[in-house]
Amino acid sequence: MTDQTNFSSRGIFVIALALVAAAAAAQTYPSKPVRLVSPYPPAGVNDLLARIIAPKLGEYLGQPVVVENRAGATGNIGADIVAHSPADGHTLLMGQAGNLSINISLMAKMPFDPVRDFAPITLVAATPNVLVVHPSLPVKSVKDLVALAKAKPGMINYATSGIGSPGHLAAELLNKSAGIKLVHIPYKGAAPALLDVVAGNAQLYFTSPASAMPFMPSGRLRMVAVASIKRSALLPDLPTVAEAGYPDFDVSSWWGVVAPAATPRDVVMRLHAEINRALALPETRARIAELGAEIVTSNTPEQFAAYIRTETVKWARLIREVGVKPE
């Protein structure tokens, strides 16, 4: 037997051992509690979705699923932790448009690559952003807001969950489209941004219906418009920004679960099945609908990966158009 033959045989043996080990790992998964990292502060939509899914997912997996908030850097800190965790399915990320498709076009230096460093599992929910204002701001429509902003340039501010977030891009797109100057106030997450608008410390906010709806019955916030081309099925009476004369205005948010790259395929598919099983429950659907989000269950890991790539291209184009840069 030649040295080349010996080398080839050893190579085949090593590959076979690796495949056997991977199969064994998948069969025993999970062997310990699973971390579901929410890279934003508590009480934001990302956190709420993670906490809605975690109990049932843990029940189906046979191990507790613990939600861990690791906020900062517009979602990059928590995402980076997951990207560099062992690829064994025991550390997952509840990601969203920001850290999975926007930040890479906004930041000069990223600690991870959202396409290369993650194994997409499933898209969970999506929703168009809505424009909400504090009731002290005398506007009831986009046209009212534009007229007021032109009369008082630089005097109206808007909150966001961070630089480059969908809400930030939506407001800057409105600035550009309407020729106005709303002033940016970035926060370290969706919850603190929203609460400051509720308190009147900031005047308006492009956010998800999920965040805003609890404050609507009491009149602590006023919904003005939805930031999508078509009206939302969840809010059919709310006009779109497009209806105010900005036909291409479309800024939506979405959330999905990913694992570190190289996570075994069997583990990814197990997680995909169990997460979607949890999402299909009537009580889960009702809780997420109450937040104003729409569940997305008809997607495979490959479709979710393709969606992330498509979204990355879309947001890159929008960032160039509005000229958003780190502040």
Calpha distance 65→259 (Å, rounded): 14
Q: The CATH number of the domain where 87 resides is what?
A: 3.40.190.150
E strands within the chain? 34-38, 65-69, 91-96, 118-128, 130-133, 157-160, 183-186, 204-207, 222-226, 252-260, 294-295
Over the range 18-44, which residues count as b (16 or more CB within 10 Å of their CB) and which as e?
Answer: eeeeeeeebeebbeeebbbbbbbbebb
Same domain, 85 and 115: yes
- Which residues make Cβ contacts (< 8 Å) with residue 219, sequence separation at least 6? 135
Q: Which of these three, 223, 244, 265, is where a domain ends?
A: 244
Strands 183-186 and 252-260: unpaired
Same domain, 178 and 273: no
Same domain, 104 and 149: no
What does the chain come to in residues?
327
Q: Which amino acid is at 99?
A: N
Calpha distance 206→103 (Å, rounded): 18
| Residues 171 and 142 sit within 8 Å (Cβ to Cβ) | no
* Residue 104 DSSP SS3: helix
In a domain, residue 327? The reply is no
Q: Which amino acid is at 8?
A: S
DSSP code per residue over 286-307: HHHHHTT-EE--S--HHHHHHH
Q: What is the pLDDT of residue 236?
A: 92
Same domain, 119 and 267: yes
Over the range 218-228, which residues count as b (16 or more CB within 10 Å of their CB) and which as e?
Answer: eebbbbbbbbb
Tens-level pLDDT at each residue, the chain (327 residues): 555 445 444 545 444 444 444 444 456 999 999 999 999 989 888 999 999 999 999 999 999 999 999 998 889 999 999 999 999 999 999 999 989 999 999 888 899 999 999 999 999 998 889 999 999 999 999 999 999 999 999 999 999 988 888 899 999 999 999 999 999 999 988 889 999 999 999 999 999 887 888 899 999 999 999 998 888 888 899 999 999 999 989 888 899 999 999 999 999 999 999 999 999 999 999 999 887 788 887 799 999 999 999 999 989 998 998 888 765
Direct distance between the N- and C-terminal alpha carbons of the chain, in angstroms, rounded to an integer = 65
Q: What is the pLDDT of residues 278-288, one digit of tens each?
A: 999 999 999 99
Number of domains in the chain: 2
Q: Which domain holds residue 188?
A: 130-244
Same domain, 22 and 121: yes
In a domain, residue 2? The reply is no
Determine if the pTM surpasses 0.85: no
Cα distances from 165 to residues 36, 64, 104, 111, 253, in angstroms, run 21, 31, 12, 17, 9
Q: Which amino acid is at 257?
A: V
Phi, psi of 180, deg, nearest 5 = -120, 175
Same domain, 238 and 271: no
